[in-house]
Structure 1
Amino acid sequence: MRTLVSESQLKSPRGRAVYWTVFTVVAVAFTVAFVFPLLWMVLGAMKTAPELARVPPTLLPHSANVGAYVEAWDFMSLAHFFVNTVIVVLGAWLFQLAVDVPAAYALSKLKPKLGNVVLGMMLATLMLPASALLVPTYLTITDVPLLGVNLVNSPLAIWLPGAANAFNIYLLKRFFDQIPGELIEASTLDGAGPVRTMWRVVLPLSRPVLGVVSILSVVTAWKDFIWPLLVFSDPQAQTLSVALQRFAPDTPINLLLAGLVLASVPTVVVFLIFQRNILAGLTAGSVKG
């Protein structure tokens, strides 16, 4: 296979030196670019408000105040908004699995008429900017068709619009396509219907991609801001991201940074724990063995 740098050049002392130098510089540059904002936020929460406003700014706090995190937790009543966010996230996760998995299974294994057209229309929604869908979606949840109910300040306003996720459906379908048709046929011959086949045969084989879809759903719902800001006008029903924005004007900057760090911890921990699963699940089913 022809590459930009030949194998013989890489094996030479000069080639190895250039390769590792470039690799190290690029790796360090990208690491600093991604880690520095997070590090600045964590250390900034330990500074006093005057120190944060100092010019030129300091990286390390002169006297680290770890108690700012406890103070921020109490000052902004973050426990209440953490509970709100957990409820919203768990519901969004369950609704997405309940809708996306059967939809992907039907498109992959049941082969409905015009299935490719339906899939193409769903994928076309990924080409639209999210901001273009805010107004029609908001008008829909304020007066749900046929039911005529208003879902503002209800978690259903988050759960229902996000249930059918085109990217998740496509990801699941691509994985289901790689499951041998012989297994489906064998299950059918044993008298199992489509639902039982999906539950007993397909889903146990799909744990990697289900894990990826679950992680993406949880992280997306946790960090979402614009849509919860629109649908939760009641301050007591708001999620963590919206509540922090509401507290920002009247909260000392160091406490606000502490609140942002606390709000970021769950998603960072989830990614660090499951990063291998995310990469494995995203590539699973992409290449036939």
Structure 2
Amino acid sequence: MRTLVSTSQLHSRRGKSLYWLVFGLVAVVFTVGFVFPLLWLFLGAMKSPAELAHVPPPVLPGQFGVRTFTQAWDFMDLGRYFLNTVLVVAGAWLVQLAFDVPAAYALSKLRPKWGNVVLGLMLATLMLPASAVLVPTYLTITDVPLLHVNLVNNPLAIWLPAAANAVNIYLLKRFFDQIPNELLEASTLDGAGPVTTLWRVVLPLSRPVLGVVSITSVVAAWKDFIWPLLVFPDPAKQTLSVALQRFAPDTPINLLLAGLVLASLPTIAVFLIFQRNILAGLTAGGVKG
């Protein structure tokens, strides 16, 4: 295989030095680019309003501590909005698994007629910007077809649209495609139906991709802003991201930054804890048997 740098040059002393120099520079630049905003946010939350208003602002706060975070928690009543967000995220996660897993299983293993057409239409929705479907989706949840109910200020307004996730269905289907059909045929010979086969054979083998779908679903629902802003006009039912935006005009800047830090901690923790599972699930290419 021909590459930009030959193997002999890469194994030479000069080649190795140049390689690690370039690799180190790229790693440092990207690390700074991703970490610096988070570090600035965390340090800014511990500064006083006077320090933040100073030009240029000091790099480090005059006093380290968690006092600003406790004040922000009480001032904006963040506990209520954390509970609202957890309820929305948990429901969105469960609904996505309940709908996307059977849909992907049907497209992969049951192979219904016109299944490829349905999958193609699902993937075609990825070509549309999210803003293009906001109005049709909002009109749908304000007057649900057949039922004629209004889901505004109802968590179902978040949960039901979340189920139509083409990316999750595609990831699950690609993984299910690689599960040997012999395992499913053996299960059928033992008298198991499609639902039993899915529950007892397919799902235990699909833990890596289920972990990826679960993590991405939770993070996406946690940080979503536009859709919760539209469907939760009642302040008492708003999620954390919407509540912080509503408090922004009347909240001291350091308390607002502290609230943003607190809102970011769960998603950062999820990524740091499960980053290996995310990569393993995305790169899982077969089933050991």
Alpha-carbon shift at residue 287 of structure 1 (Å): 10
Alpha-carbon shift at residue 57 of structure 1 (Å): 2.0
Task: Say if 1:183 and 1:201, in contact at 8 Å, map to a contact too.
Answer: yes
- 1:145-160 alignment to 2 at 5 Å? 145-160=145-160
Deviations 1:120-166 (A, max 9, x none): 00000011000001000000000000000000000000000111210
1:283 aligns with 2:283: yes
Equivalent residue, structure 1, for 2:216: 216
Task: Say if 1:71 and 1:255, in contact at 8 Å, map to a contact too.
Answer: yes
Equivalent residue, structure 2, for 1:184: 184
- 1:52-131 alignment to 2 at 5 Å? 52-131=52-131
Task: Say if 2:179 and 2:286, in contact at 8 Å, map to a contact too.
Answer: no
Ranges in structure 2 where 5+ consecutive residues have no aligned partner = none
Task: Say if 1:240 and 1:263, in contact at 8 Å, map to a contact too.
Answer: yes
1:194 aligns with 2:194: yes
Q: Determine the C-alpha separation between the residues in 1 that align with 2:247 and 2:62.
A: 26
Alpha-carbon shift at residue 58 of structure 1 (Å): 1.7
Task: Say if 2:205 and 2:287, in contact at 8 Å, map to a contact too.
Answer: no
Task: Say if 1:47 and 1:65, in contact at 8 Å, map to a contact too.
Answer: no
Alpha-carbon shift at residue 63 of structure 1 (Å): 2.2
User: TM-score, length-normalised on structure 1?
Assistant: 0.98
Q: Determine the C-alpha separation between the residues in 1 that align with 2:19 and 2:205.
A: 41
Alpha-carbon shift at residue 95 of structure 1 (Å): 0.1
Equivalent residue, structure 1, for 2:17: 17
Alpha-carbon shift at residue 216 of structure 1 (Å): 0.5
Task: Say if 2:100 and 2:168, in contact at 8 Å, map to a contact too.
Answer: yes
Q: Determine the C-alpha separation between the residues in 1 that align with 2:115 and 2:262.
A: 44
Deviations 1:206-261 (A, max 9, x none): 00000000000000000000000000000000000000000000000000000000
Alpha-carbon shift at residue 10 of structure 1 (Å): 1.0
Task: Say if 1:208 and 1:277, in contact at 8 Å, map to a contact too.
Answer: yes
The one-letter code matched in structure 1 to 2:114 is L
Equivalent residue, structure 2, for 1:236: 236
Q: Determine the C-alpha separation between the residues in 1 that align with 2:196 and 2:287.
A: 27
1:266 aligns with 2:266: yes
Ranges in structure 1 where 5+ consecutive residues have no aligned partner = none
Identity %: 80
SS in 2 for 1:84: helix
Deviations 1:6-53 (A, max 9, x none): 111111111111111111111000000000000000000000011101
Q: Determine the C-alpha separation between the residues in 2 that align with 1:64 and 1:278.
A: 34
User: TM-score, length-normalised on structure 2?
Assistant: 0.98
Q: Determine the C-alpha separation between the residues in 2 that align with 1:118 and 1:223.
A: 29
Task: Say if 1:178 and 1:288, in contact at 8 Å, map to a contact too.
Answer: no
Task: Say if 1:43 and 1:60, in contact at 8 Å, map to a contact too.
Answer: yes
Task: Say if 1:122 and 1:166, in contact at 8 Å, map to a contact too.
Answer: yes
The one-letter code matched in structure 1 to 2:156 is L
Alpha-carbon shift at residue 175 of structure 1 (Å): 0.2
Equivalent residue, structure 2, for 1:172: 172
Alpha-carbon shift at residue 64 of structure 1 (Å): 2.5
Task: Say if 1:95 and 1:163, in contact at 8 Å, map to a contact too.
Answer: yes
Equivalent residue, structure 2, for 1:31: 31
Alpha-carbon shift at residue 288 of structure 1 (Å): 10
Alpha-carbon shift at residue 286 of structure 1 (Å): 7.1
Query: Aligned-pair RMSD on alpha carbons?
Result: 1.3
Runs of 4+ in 1 over 3 A off after TM superposition: 286-289
SS in 2 for 1:162: helix
Task: Say if 2:153 and 2:232, in contact at 8 Å, map to a contact too.
Answer: yes
